[in-house]
Amino acid sequence: MITRHTPLRIGLTGGIGSGKSTVSQLLQTRGAAVIDADAIARSLTAPQGAAMPAIAHTFGSAFVTAEGALNREHMRAHIFTNPQAKQALEAIIHPLVAQETEREAQVAVAKGHHTLVFDVPLLVEAGSRWRAQVDRILVVDCLEETQIQRVMARNGLSREDIQSIIVTQASRSQRLAAADWVICNDAITLKALRECVGCLPMQTP
């Protein structure tokens, strides 16, 4: 009889500039299948994306670009003045993201992957929705000043712009409280970070 190994499901998160994407890549080199929730959400609102018909119906054609994508600037301004619009948008996108992430997870398991990494920037902000879907939550942690310096160097944003992004995300203490595993990515080399990732168990017992 053939038995199928139950894959380890890791929810990966971290604040902007924490190095989460680097950790995601390192986990992938160890054989994990990485499922990027942000990339899925972007594809859903890209030209002719699966979420676009419902967005057009709910918000109107002004929120759709000529190419058929979400008009992000218009939506951002609308949400700023109308908080309920954010909930309406999430009600459209979140179920589709959940459906696609599970589809990609099933494909990865069918290919023989023993570890599934769900890369979710706002995992903690989503409350219990992701906690129920993963076995472990892995938080990539660093000081806020480290976040600011990294994003300033990477994206050229001002300190004020980066701080305004940070305050919209879960706090460092909230992420750490939700974590099963923590990688401290502060003042360490890439080699040391790779060693930290290398110490993580990559399959269920």
For the chain, which domains are there? Answer: 8-32+113-198 (3.40.50.300)
Range scoring the smallest mean pLDDT among 2-11, 25-34, 105-114, 183-192: 2-11
Q: Which residues contact 166 (CB under 8 A, 6 or more apart)?
A: 15, 16, 144, 147, 148
d(CA 9, CA 95): 19
Question: What was the pLDDT predicted at 126?
Answer: 84
Question: What was the pLDDT predicted at 8?
Answer: 95
- 150/76: higher pLDDT: 150
What's this model's pTM, rounded to 2 decimal places?
0.86
Q: Are 133 and 118 in contact (CB under 8 A)?
A: yes
**pLDDT, tens digit (0-9, with 9 covering 90-100), for 136-188:** 999 999 999 999 999 999 999 899 999 988 988 999 999 999 999 999 999 99
For residue 58, the tally of other CB atoms under 10 A from its CB is 13
Sign of CA dihedral 163, 167, 173, 176: negative
Q: How confident is the model at residue 3 (pLDDT cuts 50, 70, 90)?
A: very low
Q: What percent of the chain has pLDDT over 90?
A: 77
Q: How confident is the model at residue 4 (pLDDT cuts 50, 70, 90)?
A: low
Please, how many CA atoms are within 13 Å of residue 72, restricted to the half-sphere of its CB? 6
d(CA 123, CA 19): 15
